[in-house]
Structure 1
Amino acid sequence: MSAAAVDVAGAAVPVIQTRGLGKVYAEGTPAEVVALRDVDMRIGAGELVSIMGPSGSGKSTLMNLIGCLDTPSSGQYLCDGVDIATLDAEQRAQLRLERIGFVFQGFNLLGRMSALENVAMPMGYAGIPRPQRLQRAREALAAVGLVERADHRPSELSGGQQQRVAIARALVNRPSILLADEPTGALDSRTGEEILALFKRLQDEGQTVVLITHDPGVAAHCDRVLEMHDGRLHEQPRRPEGSA
């Protein structure tokens, strides 16, 4: 997990910063859809933040932009202080590989591969030698409490165990940002609580975690809640210290 960057004045640079971010699909046509409107956001290193909203609110669009899976129509996005607009497609892909870990609701594990192989897979794209990939994959599985299941395939794991493998895979390249899209949506309530506790532990270890959710119960586990409505972002008041 990377250390926080600092600017020339010595102040911490936000891991995620957007200024007037907007996204329009089919712009200038009768099918035009304004998905994001003038979004300003700052997320610092080591924060646990939720972006909450109903379907169609713009939260998935925002996740795609901060995950460098899409580019904005207007405004600015800085990831670890890097202006994404200055990067070409190959550079954005490299930044995504090195600095952003994704956890998907459907796990997206390959059934023919073991848990260890699934976790090691992203490092193959980074050109890391196989022995080092396997060692780091075991360390990532150990970090989520699943190293004893390293040789099991996804079909041999419970839903919660599969989600832990997916989290280990997201962490294996030691990203500065961990983006989790509805990370408990496919899990029962008890297993979901275990996964949320794991995110909290990762935060305590210095990881920046952003949860995309429609569930207020999930958002309640986070330090800050950013709400999306009709493409606009609104921040809920911070919880008082020591509150549940």
Structure 2
Amino acid sequence: MSASTPPPVVRPPVIETRALEKVYSAGTEAEVVALKGVDLTIAHGEFVAIMGPSGSGKSTLMNLIGCLDTPTGGQYLCDGIDVATLDREQLAELRRDKIGFVFQGFNLLPRMSALENVAMPLGYARVPHDERAGRARDALAAVGLANRGGHRPSELSGGQQQRVAIARALINRPPVLLADEPTGALDTKTGEEILALFKRLCVEGHTVVLITHDPDIAAHADRTMVMRDGELHEEGPFDTRIAQASAGVTP
């Protein structure tokens, strides 16, 4: 490398946790240790599945990654930013700018059109009205719904509603999409289409973290992590039978 050539820019992991812990009702008879020393590193552009049965801690981990809750111990860095150093307003800005949420239940407002649902987060970001509509149309086009902007949720199929929800999650161009059982309310074929969309988004530079209890869904990810009693374990080359056993699922 010549002296005039700048060194390559090394991006920090988009998600990094170090010995992350979460304890509910600490010091009481009702104490629950939900997370035990979780170390997790996810790079930009990865598609990672975190799976486990109910009560394993995966929902708690999702809430911490999404900055919806605070850890009891350890450290969480989101795109290189130590979340613990942020005040409430800064935390809300990080959540808005860095993380898009996709849920099983779609969470669309029934009286709003698809375009209005997608554009809604831009209002909180104080984006001018004309720009909101243009960006919302672009986001709908990116998920294959360019001609459905005027339809309300009741006029859309389940798969189309989930695509609208994904477009809404993308509207602020966050580096991370956090998807909690995003195919749970969909039939198998439509679920496969949504997972294919996530893969395409990763190719385009987004990072997708998929929370699921289903090994067949997790098999679509590049990497699979399994929660067991509050501890996070990374699987090797994906084997459905091993993942099922780890997650407490009967084949």
Q: Shift of residue 90 of structure 1?
A: 1.4
SS in 2 for 1:97: helix
Match of 1:95? 94
Letter in 2 for 1:180: A
Kept after mapping to 1: 8 A contact 2:169/2:177: yes
Within 2, Cα distance between the matches of 1:34 and 1:132? 46
Q: Which residue of 1 aligns with 2:105?
A: 106
CA RMSD, 1 decimal:
1.3
8 A contact 2:181–2:212 mirrored in 1? yes
Assess if the C-alpha contact under 8 Å between 1:116 and 1:151 holds in 2: yes
Whichever of the two has the greater Rg, that structure is 2
The answer as to whether partners of 1:101 and 1:171 remain within 8 angstroms in 2 is yes
Match of 2:206 in 1: 207
Note if contact 1:103-1:181 (Cα within 8 Å) is conserved in structure 2. Answer: yes
The aligned counterpart of 1:137 is 136
Q: Is contact 1:48-1:209 (8 Å) kept?
A: yes
Alpha-carbon separation, structure 1, partners of 2:229 and 2:57 = 7
Letter in 2 for 1:80: D
Q: Which runs of 5+ in 2 are unaligned?
A: 1-6, 240-251
> Per-residue deviation at 1:10?
4.1
**Structure 2 partner of 1:28:** 27
Tell me the TM-score normalised to structure 2 length.
0.91
Letter in 2 for 1:225: T
4+ residue runs over 3 A deviation: none
Contact 2:75/2:84 (8 A) holds in 1: yes
TM-score, length-scaled by structure 1: 0.93
User: What amino acid is the match of 1:17?
Assistant: E
Match of 1:56 in 2: 55
How far, CA to CA, are the matches of 2:57 and 2:173 in structure 1? 28
Describe the SS at the equivalent of 2:172. Answer: coil
Matched position secondary structure for 1:37: strand
Letter in 2 for 1:65: L
1:68 corresponds to which letter in structure 2?
A: C
Secondary structure (helix, strand or coil) at the match of 1:149 reads: coil
Q: Distance in 2 between matches of 1:229 and 1:58?
A: 7
Question: Residue deviations 1:95-144, cap 9 Å, x none?
Answer: 00011000011000000000000000001000101110110000000000
Mapped contact 1:223–1:238 kept (Cα < 8 A): no
Letter in 2 for 1:97: R
8 Å Cα contact 1:182/1:212 also seen in 2: yes
Hey, what does 1:169 align to over in structure 2? 168
Structure 1 stretches lacking a partner, 5+ long: 1-7
Task: Give the C-alpha shift of residue 12 in structure 1.
Answer: 2.5
Match of 1:183 in 2: 182
Q: Conserved in 1, the CA contact under 8 Å of 2:100 and 2:169?
A: yes
Identity across the alignment (%):
72
Q: How far is 1:30 from its partner? A: 1.1
Give the residue type in structure 1 aligned to 2:69. D
Q: Is residue 100–residue 179 contact of structure 1 (8 Å, CA) maintained in 2?
A: yes
Work out whether 1:227 is the aligned partner of 2:236.
no
Amino acid at match of 2:49: S
CA 1:95–1:42 in 2, change beyond 3 Å: closer, same or farther?
same
- 8 Å contact 2:39–2:232 — kept in the other structure? yes
Return the alpha-carbon distance in structure 2 between the equivalents of residues 15 and 159 of structure 1.
Answer: 30
For residues 89 and 24 of structure 2, what CA distance do their matches in structure 1 show? 23
Supply the AA of the counterpart residue of 1:199.
Answer: F
Q: 1:33 Cα shift? A: 0.7
Paired residues of 2:140 and 2:167 also in contact (CA < 8 A): yes
Asked if residue 216 in structure 1 is aligned to residue 225 in structure 2, the reply is no
